[in-house]
Amino acid sequence: MKMKKIFAVLLSAFLMFTSEARADIDASKAEQFIKNVTQEGIEELINSDVSEAEKKARFTKLFNSDLDLDFIGKFVLGRYWRTATPKQRDEFIDVYRKLNIQTWSERFNEFKGKHFEFLGTEKANSKANDQVYVNTQVPMQEGAPASVKWRVKDTNGKLQIVDIIIENVSLAITAQKEYTSYIQKSPNGIDGLIKDLKAKLK
Amino acid sequence: MNKFIKMFCLLGVLGISAPALAAEEDEGALESYNRAMFTFNSVADYYVIKPVAKGYRAVTTEFIRERVHDFFENLKEPASMINHSLQGNFSDSGNSLGRFAINSTLGLLGTFDVASGWGLTKNKTGFDKTMASWCVPDGPFIMLPFLGPSTPRATVGWAADTASDPLYWAKYYTHFGQDWERYTFYYGLTALGFVSLREENIELLDNLTANSVDPYATIKAAYIQNRLKLNACADPNADEQANSYDFDFDEDFDE
């Protein structure tokens, strides 16, 4: 009887431990994930000799699978997400996704011929402990290396990027400031924003 | 020296009047001025500065542009040397001095950065960073004519660094030609430095204006976040704070 009790206590302790461990994001896995993204996705893709169209297609695929743009889109709309209709939300996320692919397929060319160095991980504030920063730097031709921090989120075992912070400038915060400032000034609110964002697509 | 005294007086005034340490996000009444100045700068850039920068790119090779870039970068070494000292980093100060001495001579007036090859790598700093290390408040975000995004502290830092630039003094202490010829020469050089800087940022700014619905808000947000790096003195966790935004909104937002 006693043995059974001890066993039960041990088992429940074990279960508690493992279930808690499962909720926390695994920092080393997150780092490995970013290593894959930067090596296969960015360094190899930018430096390869494939056509621009092929590059764009591969970049789009990478962006869609490795960035949680539903999550980021929600954040960048800020308090306006709450008042947006489901249709507005869908339309916004869709155009935001396309615009990001357009912006970053151009911007990542800045990393041509460069490589990422990994500097370990750092805890990111999140209630569920499901997010972590992966710290990297990119040596530049002159001066100090550029710092690039990746915020990685674990959604039911799937790792995705939720923010990229280059030289202390967060992609998500900057976009949120841009869009909330726009909506505040626009007489057409979110619909005006969606319309203007669509006009930015090439 | 008079100019320095004025600058420090200005600094004192700014220090007292600026209520927060980091550049403030809420501009209030300043915003309409800043946006008007941003529009002014954008128009000046569109019609004059960017075309000149593109013209400069068209008539020069990358090799020439790199020499021009290195020349102007070398002129900033004295400012780095002085400010590393003011920040108490004497070995960095010596590094800047060594770079300036080597590059100004063997590097043919700074047009070649030979010192980097000898292990003296570039490590720029300026009076703005010195003031940040002294806990001088940054003040509000301001848009300056032609110079773009800034804060009162950044502006004072820029002015002090300009006064540490050998070109600034060369106007008064070199003697060739007529006064006007000398002035035209030095102001021409200063303008070239400006054009060179603009040329280096053509793609970045094009990308920004092409993909942003409110470029002013985007530039301001990026500038303020980037500056938080400098305010380490104000708060040892400033760097972390800059990115400690709350991402846990699922429950609140999906209701």
CA-to-CA distance for B86 and B88, rounded, in angstroms? 5
Q: At what angle do helices B202-211 and A86-107 cross, to 10 degrees?
A: 170
- CA-nearest of B116, B122, B124, B115 to B87 is B124
Would you give the DSSP letter of residue B172? H
| A131 and chain B in contact, CB less than 8 A | yes
| pLDDT computed for residue B177 by the predictor | 81
pLDDT value for B102: 94
Q: Does B35 touch chain A (CB under 8 A)?
A: no
Q: Do B218 and A127 touch (CB under 8 A)?
A: no
Nearest-by-Cβ selection for B253 from A81, A143, A182: A81
Closest by Cβ to B213, choosing from A74, A162, A197: A197
Mean local confidence (pLDDT), A11-34: 68
pTM: 0.80
Quick one: tokens of B212? 């942003």
- Whether B78 and B100 have beta carbons less than 8 Å apart is answered as yes
Nearest residue in chain B measured CA to CA from A200: B211
* Residues of chain A found within 8 Å of residue B116, distances taken between Cβ atoms: 142
Q: Which of B212, B242, B249 sits opposite A74 (nearest CB)?
A: B249
- C-beta atoms of B225 and A197 within 8 A: no
Residue indicated by tokens 């502290």: B153
A48 confidence band (pLDDT: 50, 70, 90):
confident
Q: Give the position of tokens 């700068």.
A: B41
Mean pLDDT computed over A148-161: 91
More confident residue, B192 or A10: B192
The pLDDT of A36-63, averaged and rounded, is 82
pLDDT tens across the length of chain B (255 residues): 344 444 444 444 333 333 344 555 566 789 999 999 999 999 999 999 999 999 999 999 999 999 999 999 999 999 999 999 999 999 999 999 999 999 999 989 999 999 988 889 999 999 999 999 998 989 999 999 999 999 999 999 999 999 999 888 888 888 888 888 888 888 899 999 999 999 998 988 888 888 899 999 999 999 999 998 887 665 555 444 444 565 654 444 443
Min Cα–Cα distance to chain B from A167, Å = 6
Taking contacts as CB-CB distances below 8 angstroms, the residues of chain A near B248 are 125-128
Residues 153..172 of B with a Cβ closer than 8 Å to A: which?
none
* B244 close to A (CB below 8 A): yes
Please name the member of A82, A149, A173 whose beta carbon is closest to the beta carbon of B245.
A173
Check CB contact of B62 with chain A, cutoff 8 Å: no
Please, which pLDDT band fits residue A5 given cuts at 50, 70 and 90? Answer: low
**Alpha-carbon Rg for chain B in angstroms:** 20
pLDDT at B252: 42
Q: Order of strands, edge to edge, in the sheet holding A169-170?
A: A117-123, A131-138, A146-155, A158-166, A169-170
pLDDT at B15: 38
d(CA B57, CA B195): 10
DSSP per-residue letters across B27-88: -TTHHHHHHHHHHHHHHHIIIIIHHHHHHHHHHS-HHHHHHHHHHHHHTTHHHHHHHHHHTT
**Do A79 and A161 form a contact (C-beta atoms < 8 A)?**
no
Mean pLDDT value across chain A: 84
A34-43, A164-173, B200-209, B244-253: least confidently modelled range: B244-253
Q: In chain B, what's the furthest Cα-to-Cα distance?
A: 76
| Phi, psi angles (nearest 5°) of residue B133 | -70, -20
Q: Is the pLDDT reported for residue A186 higher than 90? A: no
A5 against B95, higher pLDDT: B95
pLDDT of residue A14: 54
The pLDDT of residue B21: 44
Here the contacts of B3-8 (C-beta below 8 Å, separation 24 or greater) are: B3/B163, B4/B160, B4/B163, B7/B156, B7/B159, B7/B160, B7/B163
Q: What percentage of chain A reaches a pLDDT higher than 90?
A: 36
DSSP 8-state symbol, B233? G
Q: A168 to chain B: which residues are within 8 Å by CB?
A: 225-226, 228-229, 239, 242-243
Q: B235 and chain A: CB distance < 8 Å anywhere? A: no
